[in-house]
Amino acid sequence: MSGSLLDAGAAIGCPHGGRVAATTPSSGVRAGGSVVATAAHTYVVTGCPHTVDRLPSPCVSVRWTADGSGVTVDGEPVLLDTSAAQCLTAAFLPQGPPVVQAAQRKVTVR
């Protein structure tokens, strides 16, 4: 699988408009000055307005699936803009894939 390498500064949102942020260590492998995102990092969603039957059911986290590119950082698979992922509620119910904003990337994995 090929795709552009994601970094901690990538613009990612939930399918309902919430913002996804990676909680990453301040040190680590960097690309273009930002920490490279891996499946080991925690991804938190804020500001999701999603409701089900008028009850709040916001996305609160994202679970990424390693894509098998073979590229790792500290033994953890890197994330690409093509990596599979699912936004989840606090009860771990799937709510759809996150939206990765198209951006100029400096590193491409093939």
Please enumerate in sequence order all residues whose Cβ is within 8 A of that of 23, keeping only pairs 6 or more positions apart, or say none: 41, 42, 43, 44
Residue 96 maps to a domain: yes
Q: What is the pLDDT of residue 109?
A: 57
Nearest to residue 3, comparing CAs of 71, 81, 67? 81
Residue 109 lies in a domain: no
CATH of the domain at 52: 2.60.200
Structure confidence at residue 108 (pLDDT): 55
Q: For residue 19, which amino acid is it?
A: R
pLDDT, residue 99, reads: 94
Specify the number of domains making up the chain.
Answer: 1
- Can you give the residue range of the structural domain that contains 61? 3-103
- Per-residue pLDDT of the chain (110 residues), as tens digits, is 577 888 877 889 999 999 998 876 666 788 777 788 888 888 999 999 999 999 999 999 999 987 666 788 888 888 888 889 999 999 999 999 999 885 555 555 55
| Residue 110 within a domain | no
Q: Can you name the residues that pair with 73 across neighbouring β-strands?
A: 76
The per-residue pLDDT for 20 is 94
Strand stretches in 15-109, DSSP E:
19-23, 30-31, 34-35, 42-46, 51-52, 55-56, 61-64, 72-73, 76-77, 85-88, 94-96, 99-100, 108-109
Q: Is residue 61 part of a domain?
A: yes
Task: Give me 84's structure tokens.
Answer: 């599979």
